[in-house]
Chain A
Amino acid sequence: MAPVRVDLSDDQEFFRETARRFIEAEVPVSVVREWHDLPDGYPQSWWQAAAELGWTSLMVPETLGGGSISGRPIVDLTIVADEMGRGVVPGPFMPTNVVADTLGRSGTDDQQSLLEGVMAGEVVLAWAHCEPGGDWSAGHVAAAASSSNGGYLITGTKTAVEAGAQANRLLVTARTPDGLAQFLLPSDAPGITITPQDSLDLGRRFAEVRFEGVAVGPESVVGEPGAAAEADVERQRLVTVLLQCADNAGSAAKVLEFTVEYAFDRYSFGRPLASYQALKHRFADMKLWSEASQAAVDGAADALAAGDDEARMVSVAKSYVGDHSVDLMQDCVQIHGGIGVTYEHDLHLYLRRATVNRGLFGTPAEHRDALSEMVGY
């Protein structure tokens, strides 16, 4: 009984099952560990195979060759995120989909022509947004795009850019005299320096991206500077946070499953751990957190799909799932005992990834602050 949505259609269930089988066959955790040593964290051929399953085409409009399973692409996307979390699967899934979504809705014809490569797994996209000391909100963006020769000159530093060193194109959020603007740039454009960063997560890759007077033409602008760009940034933020939560809900469910199994197999004082009430009650709490996390993810996905109160429901999800998924994993470490804090055990792979998801794009506490404003404080 893996916590997935309880209202999946037959098509969605088939899609989910295909994703799980693909992950189990191609990227079991033993392989995930081997891929830690690859510079990109995954082989290109594997990402292309994942793309063939539809992992990068859900958010792309049908008119551009993409399409979702259910007509609610954001919901279908969480199905994959859930499964990737269960398997601690690396790969540029989040940033590629988030940027593809924006290109599909706001990109020029030229920019949208890239999506074919994205759907084939040949083009990877990254979103250069957060800045050192930043708080992930659009209001904090300091990178400047000043007008120059009919185009712009971009200067600034972005940090924790997921897949920054793997991406063929970067979506850069910067400030212009007309408000926020976004630019799609080749990652090898002159003036861009991409430096891989180390991360708690051993699977996914992050980079610092510096823009030192990068000259771009008007054709690089995605959408309209100002209110339209701000709306795009907000949508990117919400989709990213939703995917983090789905990923953590999947991870937490998986960790709970193998820890429950361990509690049945592990005997002390002549009894299985699962027979001790002190532990049973902790497992009951963890089961509750896991199911409630899934419910929070589904509620946020539904809100985004319907365009109804999505900022609130996404913050509710991050506030709840961010904390409870990580607390659940720490408790599972405790129940495992010493083996739970060894490198050999898989637990830390999940905990590392979940902790990164918890903190990037707003901590649970920051999302609670946001919620307090929404209830009128």
Chain B
Amino acid sequence: MDDFVYAATDPAELAEYRDEVETWMNENMPRRDPVNPWHPTHDDDLKSTRNRELQRRLSDGGYAAVCYPKEYGGQSLTIAHQRIIDDVSMDFDMPILFSVPTLSICGPTILECGTEEQKQRYIPAWIRGDELWVQFMSEPSGGSDMAGALTRADRDGDTFVINGSKIWSTFAQRSDYALMLARTNWEVPKHRGLTMFIVPIHHPGIEIHPIQMVDGTEEFCQEYFNDVIIPAENVVGEVDDGWTVASRLLFHERAAVGNASPYTQGRHRNRSADGLDDLADIARDFGGNVGRQRQRLGETETFSRVEVLLSDRVVKGIESGYFPAPAGSLVRLFHGVSRADRLTVAMELHGDRALVWNQGEDTGSYGVEFVQRQQTCIGGGTTEMARNIISERILGMPRELAADRDLPFNQVPRSG
């Protein structure tokens, strides 16, 4: 299965649904903080509690993750219904933390590959806001080569014993469970010796270390596993067939990042309006070459508008079957490139104030954001991987030579 099923919907029914959602949101959801609408708090504990509470409210109203099947706590509605909720919710505070990866990446992976017990146990808990999930996929040695995982899971009766390390999990210290890919067989080629596990995060043997980024934030974590014991019932899919599960997970990640997933919920700030007026103000305030600043502002406006149009085209095209599902990588690539450009422009418009500033001013944050710029082209799958996917899976070009393809994993050369 490479595509979602998008049921046809009646426009009149959707219009009615929109009215219903608007009424409900007005009566039940808090409006965004007018001073800081998009990041009301930087306190992680507060963020976690707040998101759980908001998710619970949505769920009580029947507007949480509506594309999930009714038997697991969803509403069995279509992506069109979810997008209506997303539109309407722009003015309201939403449990954005649950959208990615819990509901849109981990969720559909369990829905497709999990056992009946797993689905009944976990899906309703996300929808109600009880449990937040993360992904334990990348490893310090791995980067884009996710199937080269070195974290090991050794069978011991009805349990597995896990040792190793994972990295770049978002908000792990405040989350409850993780989907984790680990190696269960070292005698076979890399894709055939992996298994996907459900791991309780706050569990004996797991240490979580926040990673300090260039800008000082600590959103990402690294985890260390030291003889962590996990019951065999926590395996998702089959033992040694974890790559099948991981491929679905990656598919859902691309869909979520490319705004093509029915399971994302709520929306980040509309990028078309992402502070362009602010940039124009900055350009005036900080002076500099007028001709060049006009060009830079016009370029930024072009990119942000085209990004929205492209995203819309790809979503519609995947729905209609015009694009294959990997077309989400087009949006991913555009976003990476345009965001990096935008951060460059924002710094340049500040002139030397982004480089050297008076104490107490915040113009230096634009310099810092510039230094951290490439994050936007790395996280969630690098732009190089997106280019591989576009050339190989949309244009049909030959796949990259994999030196480790048919080699037993224990014979594959690796770094360090």
What is A's interface to B at a CB cutoff of 8 Å?
1, 6-7, 260, 263-264, 272, 274-275, 277, 280-281, 283-285, 287-288, 291-292, 294-296, 298-299, 312-313, 315-316, 319-320, 365, 367-377
Contact of A6 (CB < 8 Å), options: B284, B294, B305, B320: B320
* Alpha-carbon distance between A281 and B390 when the two chains are bound, in angstroms: 8
Stretch at the interface among B90-98, B216-224, B226-234, B273-281: B273-281
**Contact-residue size bin, chain B (C-beta under 8 Å from the other chain):** 35 or more
* Alpha-carbon distance between A284 and B35 when the two chains are bound, in angstroms: 41
What is B's interface to A at a CB cutoff of 8 Å?
276-277, 279-281, 283-284, 293-295, 297-299, 301-303, 305-306, 309-310, 312-314, 316-317, 320, 322-323, 330, 333-334, 384, 386-388, 390-392, 394-395, 397-398, 400
Contact of A284 (CB < 8 Å), options: B281, B297, B391: B391
The contact sample of 16 A-B pairs, CB cut-off 8 A, is A6-B322, A272-B398, A280-B397, A284-B333, A284-B390, A285-B333, A291-B313, A292-B334, A299-B309, A316-B302, A367-B298, A370-B298, A373-B294, A375-B276, A376-B281, A377-B284
Contact yes or no, A283 B306, CB < 8 A: no
Contact of A280 (CB < 8 Å), options: B281, B298, B303, B387: B387
* Alpha-carbon distance between A189 and B305 when the two chains are bound, in angstroms: 45
Contact yes or no, B322 A287, CB < 8 A: no
- B395 vs chain A, min Cβ distance (A): 6
Best-surrounded residue of A315, A316, A377 (most CB of chain B within 10 A): A377
Which residues of B sit under 8 angstroms from A280, Cβ to Cβ? 387-388, 391-392, 395, 397
With A284-B333, A288-B333 in contact, is A320–B297 under 8 Å at CB? no
Secondary structure at chain B's binding surface: helix, strand, loop or mixed? Answer: helix
Which residues of B sit under 8 angstroms from A313, Cβ to Cβ? 305
Best-surrounded residue of B279, B280, B302, B303 (most CB of chain A within 10 A): B302
Which residues of A sit under 8 angstroms from B317, Cβ to Cβ? 6
- A211 vs chain B, min Cβ distance (A): 34
Contact yes or no, A316 B301, CB < 8 A: yes
Q: Which residue of B has the minimal Cβ distance to A370?
A: B298
Contact yes or no, B295 A316, CB < 8 A: no
Contact of B316 (CB < 8 Å), options: A6, A260, A372, A373: A6
Q: Which residue of A has the minimal Cβ distance to B314?
A: A291
* Alpha-carbon distance between A276 and B310 when the two chains are bound, in angstroms: 27
Best-surrounded residue of A260, A288, A312, A313 (most CB of chain B within 10 A): A288
Contact yes or no, B330 A291, CB < 8 A: yes
With A375-B279, A377-B293 in contact, is A296–B309 under 8 Å at CB? yes
Contact yes or no, A316 B397, CB < 8 A: no
What 6 pairs across the A-B complex have the smallest Cβ distances?
Answer: A368-B298, A284-B387, A280-B391, A284-B390, A371-B298, A376-B280
Which residues of A sit under 8 angstroms from B279, Cβ to Cβ? 375
Which residues of A sit under 8 angstroms from B323, Cβ to Cβ? 1, 6
- B248 vs chain A, min Cβ distance (A): 23
Which residues of B sit under 8 angstroms from A367, Cβ to Cβ? 298
Which residues of A sit under 8 angstroms from B297, Cβ to Cβ? 368, 371-372, 375, 377
Which residues of A sit under 8 angstroms from B395, Cβ to Cβ? 260, 274, 280, 283-284, 287
Which residues of A sit under 8 angstroms from B299, Cβ to Cβ? 319, 368
Contact of A320 (CB < 8 Å), options: B294, B306, B388: B306
Which residues of A sit under 8 angstroms from B333, Cβ to Cβ? 284-285, 288
Q: Which residue of A has the minimal Cβ distance to B318?
A: A6
Contact yes or no, A371 B281, CB < 8 A: no
In the complex, besides A294-B313, A369-B298, 7 extra interface pairs with C-beta distance below 8 angstroms are A1-B323, A6-B316, A280-B388, A315-B298, A365-B298, A377-B293, A377-B294
* Alpha-carbon distance between A339 and B353 when the two chains are bound, in angstroms: 50
Contact yes or no, A295 B280, CB < 8 A: no
Contact of A292 (CB < 8 Å), options: B310, B386, B392, B397: B310
